Amino acid sequence: MGAGIVEVFARNGIDVVAVDADDASVERGRSFLAKSTGRALERGKIDQASHDALHGHVTYATSFEALADCQLVVEAVPEHLDLKKEIFAELDGIVAKDAILATNTSSLPVTEIAASTSTPMRVVGMHFFNPAPVLQFVEVIRTVITADDVFEDVKALAERLGKKPVIVGDKAGFIANALLFGYLNHAVSMFESRYATREDIDAAMKLGCGYPMGPLALLDLIGLDTAYEILDTMYKQGRDRLHAPSPIIKQMVSAGLKGRKTGRGFYTYAAAGSPEVIADAQTPVTGHAEGVTLREVSSVGVVGSGTMATGIIEVFARAGKQVTYVARTEERLTGVRTAIEKSQARAVEKGRATREEADALLSRLHPSTSRSDLAEVDLVVEAIAEDLDLKQELFAELDKICKPGAILATTTSSLPIIDCAKVTSRPEDVVGMHFFNPAQVMKLVEVVHTVSTGEDVVATIQELCREIGKHPVTCGDRSGFIVNALLFPYLNDAIKMLSANYASADDIDTAMKTGCGLPMGPFELLDVVGLDVSLAIERELYTEFREPGYAPAPLLEHLVTAGYLGRKTGRGFRTYA
């Protein structure tokens, strides 16, 4: 991080004195900078003249005395409060009285660091994100004693550096880490309880939410020791149980399993510092368990006619399956057929399919208004409204109609699957098959087993997902499964942060997009999902887990009550044209 910050300043023509503890540390930092700028040169992002000029702006030292003439000093040492206070106290007596002292801390109290100096009004937080030369976001942390001109100068400097600064108060975690680390900690708890494998947790968030990295891989990159310090600091300040570090994090740190930098964390790496993941004892074995016989699935039934049902029908037909789809009226059946015809026409137009392939797909579609036509299919996928009474009525009927050995699957995203299974005489044949919208595009399917689901049923659905071009992740039957259970508490935390007037919706969205690389900010996403849908999911999570931190934020309740449901009504957290 220190070398990255040096590069940011030098790249913008600012002279930098890079100081570290000893000659070996200085050389290590110099090598980091050389590698980073060397890559940029090789890839044509900078030319030789710019490369040489950048390095010409940097001088190296092992003594704080070398900083005496600097107008700004940015501290980027490890997250230990006593160490930072000691450094600031020493710097306070070296630099000029009008020099600004900034800390890159991601979680420690800037006010307490400032109090170690004789001039705390010139101390400010300047939190860069890793890798600093790439990520645009910078949190500028203003304490209650920071001078107005100091904070304005630092904000203006961040903009001069090409960054997007957001001004926040001195609260543990600031914006990005306060939201990010609660989510990461939750993912660790999910892994620690063996609810899902590390690979499935990471794949779920990458494929289901478009995140650049899964949470456990990200923790390995950050460093588990750093993550523990951040979570511990946040918990001590806020006493939010969701920020209490999962026990396994401390155990792993104590064992020296700190992530990529040590070669082993949640994953095992080819070498210390290497990004290459290698197989270890926890790596899943490909294929199904020995002794499990897969069921044949050559024909599929789909019940429903909405957007999700239509997408699922198209996915199965594209994979060569005969698909019988059932809706209440001929009009709805025609609507499904028309939507798929349009989708296939676009695919042909864009060269993703031939006309012959499109025609063959359409020939595999068999519409019906009678559920009895599902009697001979190998798998029925239910994709009707999220209403438990309706789903139970359907499953009870399918139990009587479908042949023995047929698998009955529900696409529910939040309701208990066992409640659908229990109304049948074959609970071992009932499974969750949660597609993501749009089903034609999204690769993820959550395969959800109940306490009664047969092992052969789970294995069959996993293999079927791969056959139709999807990535299955497997988990148990509890509210939210993997994706929603990790996503919606994070969204709820963002709403609480907004309600507390700590930051605006725009600043929070900017923080999570530019600081964490997420495809959408939390408020953008909430407005797209629908605030009513989000509230329903958060209520389900709270009811299931009884975790106080999952209780829906009152602001969300109020917006839904007022009819402000997001984009679909033209107003949610933002107003739309």
Tell me the DSSP string of 238-302: H--GGGSPPHHHHHHHHTT--BGGGTBSSSEESSTT---EE--TTSPPSSPPTTPPPPP--EEEE
484 among known catalytic residues: yes
Catalytic residue selected from 446, 524, 538, 540? 446
| Alpha-carbon radius of gyration of the chain | 27
Which token pair is 103?
């800390």
- Separation CA 343–CA 356 (nearest Å): 14
| CA 43 to chain centroid | 29
Q: Tell me whether residue 400 is exposed, middle or buried, using C-beta atoms within 10 angstroms of its C-beta: 0 to 12, 13 to 18, 19 or more.
A: exposed
Catalytic residue selected from 246, 343, 452, 484? 484
Q: Which of 555, 403, 538, 394 is nearest to 479 (CA)?
A: 538
- Helix axis angle for 48-56 and 2-11, nearest 10°, is 110
DSSP 369: S
Catalytic residue selected from 413, 452, 492, 534? 413
Which token pair is 439?
């089903």
Sheet containing 299-303: give its strands across: 365-368, 322-326, 299-303, 379-382, 407-410, 430-435, 444-449, 471-476
434 among known catalytic residues: yes
492 among known catalytic residues: no
298 among known catalytic residues: no
Q: Tell me whether residue 119 is exposed, middle or buried, using C-beta atoms within 10 angstroms of its C-beta: 0 to 12, 13 to 18, 19 or more.
A: middle
- Separation CA 400–CA 382 (nearest Å): 15
Give me the active site residues, please. 413, 434, 446, 484
